[in-house]
Chain A
Amino acid sequence: MQVDCNKPDDMGRDRFILSKGHAAAAVYATLSHKGFISRSALKKYGEEGSVYMTHVSHKVRGIEFSSGSLGHGLSFGVGKALYAKLTKSKFRTFVLMSDGELNEGSNWEAFMFAAHHELSNLVAIIDYNKLQSLKTVEETLKIEPLTQKLESFGWNVIRVDGHNFTELENAFNLLEKSEKPAVIIADTIKGKGVSFMENKVSWHYTSPTESEYLEALTELS
C-alpha cells in the first residue's frame, strides 16, 4: 500500500478499510509500526474513554472508517473505489473482511455492484479462519464453495495460506494488474502459533491469564 504517516489524508494514498472492526488491536499495532500513532498510544487500547476502541474508530489517525457491525466495510470501500474510478485517481482500496461476516447480505450487494462496475482498483481480503461466534462456519452457514461463488460474482480470486507472507505478497503483486475487483481468500488458523489457542471458538471471548500469556509468548518466540 502507498501510504505516508506524515500525510495521512493525502488524496493519493491507498485506502485500507477494516470491515471486521473487532480486529482493531492488529490495526493499531500496524499503525504504530508504520508511524501513524505512537507506541505509547497502544497502552490506551480498550481504556475507558480512549479513542483506541476495541472496534476501530475513524477518529484515530490512519483509520478511514469506523466499523463494528459486520457487512459495512466492503460497500464503503466500493464507494471509495468508485470515486477513484470516476475521478481517474490511481489509489487502490483494500478491505479486510471476516468469513462469518459473509453471512451478511449487504456484502453480496457490494460484490455484485463492484463486478458490474468493473472496480479493478478494489481488493478484498477474507480472513478465512473457519470459525464464527458460536461454532464453525461450516456448521453455522456454509459458504463453500467460496472461490467459485466469488468467481461467479465476477471477481478475480486468489486463495493463499494467510500465514505465508510470501504468498500474500505475491497475490497482492499479481492483483495489481487485475481487470476486475479481486479477492484474496486467506486461509488462516485462529490463534495460530499458540498451541492451546489454535482453532478454538472460546478464545474469541477469553483473555489469557498471566501464566497463559507468558506461555503464549514463549511459543510465539
Chain B
Amino acid sequence: MRNIFINKLIEHASRSDSIMLLVGDLGYSVIEPFEQKFPKSFLNVGVAEQNMATIAAGLASEGKHVFIYSIGNFSTFRCAEQIRNDIAYHELPVTVVAVGGGLGYGALGYSHHAIQDYALMRSFPGVTILSPGDDIELQACMEYIISEPHPSYLRLPKIAPTKIHIDELDPLSLTKPVEIKCSNNSSAILTTGGGLQLVASELNEISLYDVYSIPVWGMSHRSSLFPLLKSYKKIVTIEDHLKDAGFGSWVLETIASNDEVRSSVDCKIIGLDSKVCGKVGNEKTLWKIGEISPLKPLLC
C-alpha cells in the first residue's frame, strides 16, 4: 500500500509541481522513487515532527499541497498541536500520512501501535479522515484528496492488505458508504481501514449482516451516513482502534445527532480493548488479545 501511495504521488507530481512530500527520516525503500524523480518536491526534515508539520503549513500557505509522512503516532501525536493550530485551524492543504495504522507494527511495542489516532485526528474541525481498507480504496482516496486538497489524515497499514474490491472505485463515491456485501439484511456492519481486512477475513461467518466500508469520514462528513442509518435497525461498527473515541464513536455520535434515527437504530461498537496496550505480537495475535477477533461471537 505504501508503494501505491508513492506511485500515486509520482503520477500527480508529474502533472503539478504543487505536490510536496516531507518525511520524518522514515520511509526507507518506499520514498526513494519520489525523491529521485522530484528532488525539489521532497524533503527529509529529520526526526523532528513538530517542525515538519509547521513547515508543511508554511509551504501549504504559499500554495503547495504537502504530504507529511511518518510511522504510526509520530506524524500525529508528536505534532498534535501543530496539526491543530497550524494546519487545521488555518485550513491548509496538508495531508498527514501515518504508516502502520492499527497494530501493523505490533512487534515493536506500544510506541508504535497507532490505536488512538482516529480519536485525535477526528477531533480537529475540517480534517477529513482517509482510512482505506485495501489498495483500490487507497487509489480512490488519493484521487479524492489530490483533487480537493484540504487538511486530512491518511492512515496506511504496514502490511499489504488483501484485495477486497475488484473494480476501481470512483473517488466521488467515497463520500458515501461503499457497499461490500448487501443482501437487504436489517443489520449492517460499518468498518474502515484495517477493520475491513478483519471483516473480509471472516465474511463467511457474518451472513446476517450487510457490510459497508467507509474509507472517507470525519466531523464534516456525518451527513453521508444518514441515508444508510435510515435503512437499518442495527448497526455494528468494527475498527482496529481502541473502542473509545474512534470510528464507532463517530458513528454513534452521528446517530445521536440525527432526530430521525436516534431512537430507531441500535448501535454496537467493536473496537480494541485497552488490555492490548503494551502487548506485542503480530497484528492477528493482537486483534485476539484486543478482543476484536474472532468476530462471530461478538456478533451474536
Within 8 Å by CB of A79, from B50, B55, B85, B89, lies B55
B81 and A78 contacting across the interface, CB-CB below 8 Å? no
* Complex Cα–Cα for A69 and B84 (A): 11
Verify if B10 is at the interface (C-beta below 8 Å from A). Answer: no
Q: Are B81 and A69 in contact (CB under 8 A)?
A: yes
Using known A-B contacts A66-B90, A109-B48, determine if residue A83 contacts B64 with beta carbons closer than 8 Å: yes
Q: Assuming A106-B50, A109-B48, A109-B50, is B86 touching A72 (CB within 8 A)?
A: yes
**Complex interface bits, B57-76 against A, C-beta within 8 A gives 1, otherwise 0:** 11111111000000000000
- Verify if B54 is at the interface (C-beta below 8 Å from A): yes
In the assembled complex, the CB of A11 is this many whole angstroms from the nearest CB of chain B, namely: 8
Asked if residues A72 and B55 are in contact (CB atoms below 8 Å), the reply is no
B198 to nearest A CB, angstroms? 37
Contacts of A163 in B (CB 8 A): none
Chain B window 80-108, contacts with chain A (Cβ cutoff 8 Å), 1 for yes, 0 for no? 01100110011000000000000000000
**Residue in B63, B64, B86 whose beta carbon sits within 8 Å of that of A76 in the complex:** B86
Nearest-Cβ distance from residue A74 to partner chain B, whole angstroms: 8
Complex: how many Å from CA A106 to CA B45?
13
B46: chain A residues within 8 A (beta carbon): 109, 112-113
Known: A64-B61, A113-B45, A113-B46. A72 touches B56 (CB 8 A): no
- The residue in chain B whose Cβ has the minimal distance to the Cβ of A58 is B90
Known: A69-B81, A112-B46. A75 touches B51 (CB 8 A): yes
Interface flag for B15 (CB, 8 Å): no
Give Cα distance in the complex from A69 to B58, angstroms.
16
Q: When each residue 78-105 of chain A gets 1 if its CB lies under 8 Å from chain B and 0 otherwise, what string results?
A: 1111110010000000000000000001
How many residues of chain B are within 8 Å of chain A by beta carbon?
Answer: 25
Contacts of A112 in B (CB 8 A): 46, 48
CA gap between A86 and B59 in the complex, in Å: 10
Query: A155 contacts the other chain (Cβ, under 8 Å)?
Result: no
A113 to B81, CA, bound (A): 20
Q: Return A47 CB to nearest CB of chain B, in Å.
A: 21
Q: With contacts A78-B55, A79-B57, A83-B64 known, is A65 near B90, CB below 8 A?
A: yes
How far, in angstroms, from A99 to B31 measured CA to CA in the complex?
Answer: 38
The reply to whether B54 and A79 form a contact with Cβ atoms under 8 Å apart is yes
Query: Contact: A69 with B85, CB < 8 Å?
Result: yes
CB–CB A66/B85 < 8 A:
yes
With a 10 A CB-CB cut-off, give which of B40, B51, B64, B81 has the most chain A CB atoms.
B51
**Contact A77/B58 with A69-B85, A83-B64 known, Cβ cut-off 8 Å:** yes
- In the complex, the answer to whether A76 meets B48 with C-beta atoms within 8 Å is no
Looking at the assembled complex, report how far the CB atom of B84 sits from the nearest CB atom of chain A, in whole angstroms: 9
What is the CA–CA distance of A187 and B70 in the complex, to the nearest angstrom? 39
Q: 1/0 per position for B110-153, CB-CB distance to A under 8 A?
A: 00000000000000000000000000000000000000000000
- Interface membership of A131, Cβ < 8 A: no
Structural contact, B58 and A75, CB atoms closer than 8 A: yes
Q: Within 8 Å CB of A81, what residues of B?
A: 58
The docked-state distance in angstroms from the alpha carbon of A105 to that of B54 is 13
Residues of B within 8 A of A66 (CB): 85, 89-90
Please name all residues of chain A whose beta carbon is closer than 8 Å to the beta carbon of B82 when the two chains form the complex. 72, 75, 106
Q: Say yes or no: B51 contacts A78, CB within 8 Å.
A: yes
B51→A80 contact, CB < 8 A = no
Contact indicator A106/B54 (Cβ below 8 Å): yes
CB-CB < 8 A to B48: which residues of A? 109, 112-113
Contacts of B61 in A (CB 8 A): 64-65, 76, 79-80
Bound: A71/B53 CA distance, A: 12
| Complex-state Cα separation, A72 to B83, whole angstroms | 11
Residues of B within 8 A of A (CB): 40, 43, 45-46, 48, 50-51, 53-64, 81-82, 85-86, 89-90
Q: A75-B82, A113-B48 are in contact. List 11 more A-B contacts (CB 8 A).
A: A66-B90, A71-B50, A72-B81, A76-B54, A78-B55, A79-B57, A79-B62, A82-B55, A82-B58, A105-B50, A110-B51
Return 28 A-B CB contacts under 8 Å, by A number. Answer: A66-B90, A68-B85, A72-B54, A72-B81, A72-B82, A75-B51, A75-B53, A75-B55, A75-B57, A75-B86, A76-B55, A76-B57, A76-B58, A76-B61, A77-B58, A78-B54, A79-B59, A79-B60, A79-B61, A80-B59, A82-B43, A83-B58, A83-B62, A109-B46, A109-B51, A110-B55, A113-B45, A113-B48
The 10 closest A-B pairs by CB, nearest first: A79-B58, A75-B54, A109-B51, A109-B48, A79-B55, A83-B62, A106-B50, A76-B58, A79-B59, A80-B58
